[in-house]
């Protein structure tokens, strides 16, 4: 996929202001799609888990049976007994006696053909042993039902010619082979390997009779045993492995299976045995009390409740089914409405971005889908502990913040419980592991720190599992198994989160603090080029970044974004660095030979040049925003004043828009801080003897000027924020421009 979702959204913007990332109708569509997708994952009524466990107390009123119903056995016990019964079923074989006359005729037909081939070979060339493998005998060989290799033909031919005096004669061997075939065809031979049979006996159906004879497995042979016995016999007789293998091949061909495995009859026996296993252990009569209020749930009581629920759901009507399904959809709807209200009132920046809403929706649907899969897996293990809610917690914390992550995770845990048919136990356990994983990555500095969340997730899962296990009086083995699966979750979650983080960063163009920290590295190509070509601008950006970071901390803005944005805010000056005063090392001002309008255009052009460079180096949009926004619509006052002075003498009008930056004004707190930090840092350089009071007055004047110009109207900075920003700027600048202590001259002795 060459384009990610962010780029795709940017393409669907029309001149009339329709923007897919801001359009309200699209937000509704995202919500509807999310509800529909999760609704499709809701469990069918037959798979709804009970909300009571053995050992708990029945807190509702007495439950009276409105109708009679059987008490079904525990499914696990029933399946266990069924497996044991199947293991004891003897496989059924059909008795298929070998027609000895037919076999004898086949053997008697085979050896004359073999003798004829050897006779022809002798006639062709008596001294050439390879004549047996020549093409002259190919047709005769093809008439045989058995194929031999060249070595096997040669060994048989030598035996026929009686070249090895120590071996048995050819005629004697033929007699031995015929006798061996006859002897083995009298024995019971299976059509399958014995290793596939798990019982000590087999059943034999004789002559189509329904009655079956049982036969000990040790009294029958399979093909593997026949081969072994033949090899031993002929190896002792011939003392030649190749010849032994050849003779064994001949004998095996004429030895026939006489006990044929019948899969259909075996399956019928299995089904008959299963049908004999009782599925119920009793009956509950109409108006009989199933359980009383405050009574503990015993194993028998639970079976009664499970059976009652099963029968009730089987008898449910279409109308009731529809009503209950609507109720489940309403549950999902309410949870998503709560999340929507939180985003609208508390995190409006996320609510306004359809791209971010899609990201959150994808995580919610993904976790719901994994919950759905956990229900479908028929494994006797707590697979619900592998839903990996902590993965979503890690991703949301890194991509947004811990507060938003916590709120969404609470919603996800409820949705997981809903998809699993009201299993709020797993919701409680998942919440414990997810909350601790949020705290483990809330102040992450590099990608490797993701893996430290392993310990937090492990603790977050272990304690709730232990608490619930002890509360329900579960066995030690079950508790340890649950903790083991919680440990697997703890190991896998950071690994999965690491991989998905890269995916979400690329597809949704999410700029995380990790991305920003990587961009803050001075070895980044663009920063390296800035430090080489425009060292003055680079130094200015570093100081400005320190100012912005301290200010962001003071008002609760993103300090990393503020600092990194300042590092890249003036990268456009790389194009013509000598036109900017901080880079004029030799103090040669190139603007002295230019008219004010040309100078202003060169100065203003560094904004568009910076945006172009940023896109070339694929910087995130949140960083690119700093390039135009840190100037807003401010005036290039020096050249505007110079133009006004020239115009006054010529009595001409100078429009100020020619000397203003194109904007837009700062849209976020971080870009607003960058605008103030840029002006404050630049103006402070012109102060010859900066004292604390002078610095404070300068900062105050800069902030008031920008405020009165309306440049801060769109960035949500309050007057209280501006006061805090002023104090943080002053703190940093006093540290930079502190007065050195004048030490007395050394006294000469």
Task: List pLDDT tens digits, range 282-334.
Answer: 888 888 888 887 788 888 888 888 888 877 777 665 556 677 778 888 989 99
CA distances from 169 to 101, 159, 160, 161 (A): 26, 7, 8, 9
Q: Clarify whether residues 529 and 495 are in a common domain.
A: no
Would you state the structure tokens that stand for residue 273, as one six-digit string? 């045995």
Domain final residue, candidates 482, 510, 538: 510
Task: List pLDDT tens digits, range 617-628.
Answer: 989 999 999 999
- Exposed, middle or buried by CB within 10 Å (0-12, 13-18, 19+), for 466? middle
Q: Is 660 in contact with 704 (CB distance < 8 Å)?
A: no
Beta-bridge partner residues of 202: 215
pLDDT over 70 (residue 649): no
In a domain, 165, yes or no: yes
CATH number of residue 565's parent domain: 1.10.3210
Q: Clarify whether residues 484 and 560 are in a common domain.
A: no
SS (H, E, C) 397-461: HHHCCHHHHHHHHHHHHHHHHHHCCCCHHHHHHHHHHHHHHHHHHCCCCCHHHHHHHHHHHHHHH
Domain final residue, candidates 231, 258, 285: 258
Nearest to 555 by CA among 689, 383, 703: 703
Q: Clarify whether residues 467 and 573 are in a common domain.
A: no
pTM over 0.75? The answer is no
Q: Clarify whether residues 429 and 531 are in a common domain.
A: no
Q: Clarify whether residues 385 and 533 are in a common domain.
A: no
Nearest to 166 by CA among 157, 174, 158, 154: 158
**pLDDT band per the 50, 70, 90 thresholds, residue 738:** low
Q: Clarify whether residues 428 and 473 are in a common domain.
A: yes
What was the pLDDT predicted at 5? Answer: 46
Domain final residue, candidates 462, 481, 510: 510
Q: What is the mean pLDDT of residues 216-225?
A: 90
> Percent of the chain at pLDDT above 90?
36
Instruction: For residue 661, give the H/E element and its range.
Output: none
In a domain, 58, yes or no: no
pLDDT over 70 (residue 675): yes
Q: Is 220 in contact with 190 (CB distance < 8 Å)?
A: yes
Q: Clarify whether residues 497 and 640 are in a common domain.
A: no
**pLDDT band per the 50, 70, 90 thresholds, residue 457:** very high
The whole-angstrom separation of Cα 698 and Cα 703 is 9
The whole-angstrom separation of Cα 395 and Cα 401 is 9
In a domain, 150, yes or no: yes
The count of structural domains within the chain is 3
Q: Clarify whether residues 497 and 520 are in a common domain.
A: no
In a domain, 209, yes or no: no
The whole-angstrom separation of Cα 531 and Cα 522 is 9
* The Cα angle at residue 694 between residues 690 and 695, in degrees rounded to 5: 75
Q: Clarify whether residues 669 and 546 are in a common domain.
A: yes
Task: List pLDDT tens digits, range 85-137.
Answer: 888 888 999 888 888 888 888 888 898 988 888 888 877 765 555 667 777 77
Q: How many CB atoms lie within 10 A of CB 61?
A: 9
What was the pLDDT predicted at 507? Answer: 86
Long-range contacts formed by 739-747: CB under 8 A, 24+ apart: 739/691
Beta strand 289-291 with 63-64: parallel, antiparallel or unpaired? antiparallel
Q: 379 lies in which domain range?
A: 5-40+321-510
Nearest to 496 by CA among 392, 651, 421, 356: 392
Q: Clarify whether residues 596 and 558 are in a common domain.
A: yes
What was the pLDDT predicted at 114? Answer: 87
Q: Clarify whether residues 493 and 520 are in a common domain.
A: no
In a domain, 65, yes or no: no
In a domain, 708, yes or no: yes
Q: Clarify whether residues 562 and 461 are in a common domain.
A: no
pLDDT over 70 (residue 747): no
* Residues 553, 557, 558, 563, CA torsion sign: negative
Q: What rounded mean pLDDT belongs to the chain?
A: 84
Task: List pLDDT tens digits, range 514-567.
Answer: 888 889 999 999 999 999 999 999 999 999 999 999 999 999 899 999 999 999
In a domain, 77, yes or no: no
| Coil, strand or helix at 280 | strand
In a domain, 444, yes or no: yes
Task: List pLDDT tens digits, range 408-429.
Answer: 999 999 999 989 888 888 999 9
292: CB partners within 8 A, 6+ apart: 58, 62
pLDDT over 50 (residue 394): yes
């Amino acid at each position: 996929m060459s384009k990610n979702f962010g780029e795709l959204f940017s393409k669907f913007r029309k001149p009339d202001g329709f923007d897919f990332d801001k359009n309200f109708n699209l937000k509704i569509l995202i919500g509807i799609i999310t509800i529909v997708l999760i609704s499709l994952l809701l469990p069918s009524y037959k798979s709804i888990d009970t909300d009571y466990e053995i050992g708990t107390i029945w807190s509702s009123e007495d439950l009276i049976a409105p109708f009679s119903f059987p008490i079904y056995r525990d499914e696990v016990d029933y399946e266990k007994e069924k497996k044991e019964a199947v293991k004891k079923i003897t496989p059924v074989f059909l008795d298929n006696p070998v027609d000895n006359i037919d076999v004898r005729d086949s053997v008697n037909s085979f050896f004359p053909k073999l003798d004829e081939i050897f006779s022809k070979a002798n006639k062709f060339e008596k001294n050439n042993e390879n004549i047996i493998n020549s093409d002259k005998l190919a047709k005769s060989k093809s008439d045989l039902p058995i194929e031999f290799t060249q070595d096997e033909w040669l060994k048989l031919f030598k035996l026929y010619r009686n070249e090895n005096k120590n071996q048995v004669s050819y005629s004697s061997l033929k007699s031995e082979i015929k006798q061996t075939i006859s002897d083995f065809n009298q024995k019971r031979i299976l059509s399958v390997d014995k290793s596939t049979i798990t019982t000590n006996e087999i059943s034999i159906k004789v002559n189509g009779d329904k009655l079956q004879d049982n036969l000990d497995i040790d009294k029958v042979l399979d093909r593997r045993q026949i081969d072994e016995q033949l090899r031993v016999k002929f190896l002792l007789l011939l003392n030649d492995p190749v010849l032994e293998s050849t003779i064994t091949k001949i004998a095996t061909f004429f030895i026939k299976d006489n006990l044929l495995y019948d899969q259909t009859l075996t399956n019928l026996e299995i089904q008959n045995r299963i049908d004999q296993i009782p599925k119920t252990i009793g009956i509950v009569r109409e108006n009989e009390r199933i359980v009383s209020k405050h009574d503990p749930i015993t194993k028998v009581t639970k079976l009664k409740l499970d059976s009652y629920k099963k029968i009730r759901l089987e008898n449910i009507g279409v109308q009731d089914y529809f009503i209950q399904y609507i109720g489940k959809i309403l549950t999902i709807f309410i949870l998503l409405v709560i999340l929507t209200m939180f985003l609208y009132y508390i995190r409006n920046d996320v609510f306004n971005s359809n791209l971010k809403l899609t990201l959150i929706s994808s995580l919610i649907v993904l976790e719901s889908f994994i919950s759905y899969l956990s229900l479908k897996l028929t494994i006797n293990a707590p697979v619900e502990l592998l839903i990996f809610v902590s993965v979503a917690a890690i991703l949301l914390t890194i991509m947004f913040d811990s507060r938003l992550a916590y709120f969404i995770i609470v919603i996800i845990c409820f949705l997981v419980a809903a998809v699993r048919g009201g299993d709020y136990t797993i919701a409680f356990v998942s919440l414990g592991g997810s909350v601790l994983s949020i705290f483990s990555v809330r102040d992450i500095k590099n990608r490797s720190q993701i893996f430290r969340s392993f310990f937090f997730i492990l603790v977050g899962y272990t304690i709730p599992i232990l608490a619930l296990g002890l509360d329900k009086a579960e066995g030690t083995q079950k508790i340890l198994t649950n903790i083991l699966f919680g440990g697997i979750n703890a190991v896998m979650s950071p690994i999965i989160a690491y991989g998905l983080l890269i995916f979400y960063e690329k597809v949704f163009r999410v700029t995380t603090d990790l991305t920003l920290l990587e961009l803050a590295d001075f070895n980044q190509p663009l920063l390296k080029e800035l430090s080489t070509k425009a060292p003055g601008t680079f130094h200015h950006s570093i100081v400005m970044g320190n100012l912005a970071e301290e200010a962001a901390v003071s008002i609760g803005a993103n300090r990393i974004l503020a600092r990194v944005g300042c590092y890249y805010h003036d990268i456009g000056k790389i194009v013509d660095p000598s036109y900017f005063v901080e880079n004029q090392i030799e103090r040669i001002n190139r603007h002295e030979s230019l008219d004010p309008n040309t100078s202003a255009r060169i100065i203003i052009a560094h904004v568009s040049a910076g945006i172009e460079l940023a896109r070339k180096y694929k910087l995130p949009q949140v960083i690119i925003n700093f390039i135009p926004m840190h100037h807003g619509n401010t005036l290039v006052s020096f050249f505007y004043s110079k133009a006004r002075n020239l115009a006054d003498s010529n009595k001409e009008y100078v429009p100020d828009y020619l000397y203003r930056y194109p904007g837009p004004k700062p849209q976020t707190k971080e870009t607003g801080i960058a605008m103030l930090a840029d002006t404050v840092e630049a103006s402070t350089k012109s102060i010859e003897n900066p004292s604390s009071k002078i610095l404070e007055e300068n900062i105050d004047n800069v902030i008031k000027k920008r405020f009165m110009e309306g440049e801060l109207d769109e960035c949500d900075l309050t007057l209280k924020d501006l006061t805090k920003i002023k104090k943080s700027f002053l703190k940093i600048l006093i540290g930079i421009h502190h007065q050195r202590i004048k030490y007395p001259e050394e006294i000469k002795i």
